[in-house]
Amino acid sequence: MADVARVAGVSHQTVSRVLNGAPHVRPGTRERVLAAIRELDYRPNVAARTLVTRRSQTLGVVSFGSALYGPASMLDGIEQAARSAGYFVSVASLRSLDTRSVQEAVDRLRDQGVEGIVVIAPQTTAVSAVAQLSTAVPVVAVGAGSGSPVPTVSVDNEAGAEAVTRHLLDLGHATVHHIAGPPGWLETATRQAGWRKALEAAGAPVPEAHPGDWSARGGYQAGLRLAADPAVTAVFCANDHLALGLLRALHEAGRAIPGDISVVGFDDIAEAAYFAPPLTTVRQDFGELGRRALELLVDEVTRSGRPSGAAAGRGRAGSPESPGRHVLVPTEIVLRRSSGRAPR
């Protein structure tokens, strides 16, 4: 820092203010300091700064199912928002969301001095694990729904599913069949709840849901059964990959889309617009999800007034000091050619 101050012709206190983003630095002075930093390729000693400020500017993320579109997009949204806010992100990726695995991941992140932790919790086991966490740093759960004892941010899956099912009913379909996600996933339950709610509100029959597994193969297998039933005229798939498999099965059976059967999905993956035909689906704003999660976590960090995790003691994550707040991020329907009026 002394070398930067010498090259820029300022005091080391001024260099420190520039590095910490202090507002009361003249623009010309700030630019000289930044130019000196670039010239010297100066890198602040993060460990030393943490010892002085007791702030690491690092957040932890416990992730799961990063190969799946939803969890991977949640992680990307959180990382993007954190970088924009000036935070580093340390990620612990898990294969299982049981209580022990989540607690071990949180402990590893605390050892790195994180100031707060986001847990991507798309499964019911994760909600239970978060409820039992023992940690002094604030925790925010993403995708955990309103039942979590810690603050949560999630996509409004139920409203999205209800809206897209109502869209099909408004097109004249007598009812809407459903290919669901796998059991144990919160999105499975909430999307199925929205589908059922729309049917019941319209006084339409509620068919038995077909189980799926988020994959195109699962959609294809369910689609073979649906394609064989001439009474089926509309299907809501719990995600776009299931819809892709369904479309394949319907094409093989000679069922026209949307002439014979209307198909809708959920997620709006990048490929959805290029399905044959292009898929009507529900879009989730993962950038907004990440921003809301980060805002909630930073607010929890500020309200807690605690130092970074390496120096803090333990406590229950869902304690009264950190009351559960639930933020819902809205969805929107993207209309494409795969949905159409009921055949006459």
Q: What is the 3-state secondary structure (H, E, C) of 174-213?
A: CCCEEECCCCCEHHHHHHHHHHHHHHHHHCCCCCCCECCC
Residues 6 or more apart whose Cβ sits within 8 Å of residue 215: 241, 242, 245
Highest average pLDDT, of 83-92, 214-223, 286-295, comes from 214-223
Euclidean distance between CA atoms 49 and 2, whole angstroms: 15
Architecture of domain 2-44: Orthogonal Bundle (1.10)
Residue 71, SS3 per DSSP: helix
For residue 181, the model assigns a pLDDT of 96
For residue 317, the model assigns a pLDDT of 55
Supply the mean pLDDT for the chain. 86
First to last CA, the chain: 77
Euclidean distance between CA atoms 296 and 225, whole angstroms: 44
Strand partners, 326: 152
For 157-284, which CATH class?
A: alpha beta
Q: Give the range among 77-81, 201-205, 260-264, 338-342 with minimum mean pLDDT.
A: 77-81
Lookup: tokens for 174? 């007598």
Phi and psi for 299 in degrees, rounded to 5? -65, -40
The residue type found at 115 is E
**Contact by Cβ (8 Å): 120, 144:** no
Task: Find out whether the peptide bond into 307 is cis, omega within 30 degrees of 0.
Answer: no
Q: Give the range among 65-79, 200-214, 283-297 with minimum mean pLDDT.
A: 65-79
Count the neighbouring beta carbons within 10 Å of the beta carbon of residue 334.
17
Strand partners, 288: none
Residue 132 has pLDDT above 70, yes or no: yes
For residue 322, the model assigns a pLDDT of 42
Euclidean distance between CA atoms 138 and 103, whole angstroms: 14
Phi and psi for 329 in degrees, rounded to 5? -100, 125
Kindly state the DSSP code that residue 88 receives in the 8-state scheme. E
Same fold, 55-155+286-328 and 157-284: yes
- Judging by DSSP bridges, how do beta strands 326-329 and 281-284 pair with one another? unpaired
Kindly state the DSSP code that residue 253 receives in the 8-state scheme. T
Q: Give the range among 59-63, 241-245, 294-298, 306-310 with minimum mean pLDDT.
A: 306-310
The 3-state DSSP composition of the chain as helix, strand, coil percent (nearest 5) reads 45, 15, 40
In Å, how far from its chain's centre is CA 342? 34
| Per-domain residue ranges of the chain | 2-44, 55-155+286-328, 157-284
**pLDDT by residue (tens digit) across 205-237?**
999 999 999 999 999 999 999 999 999 999 999
- Superfamily grouping for domain 55-155+286-328: Response regulator (3.40.50.2300)
pTM of the model: 0.79
Strand partners, 61: 91, 118
- Between helices 99-111 and 124-131, what is the axis angle to 10°? 60
More confident residue, 173 or 26: 173
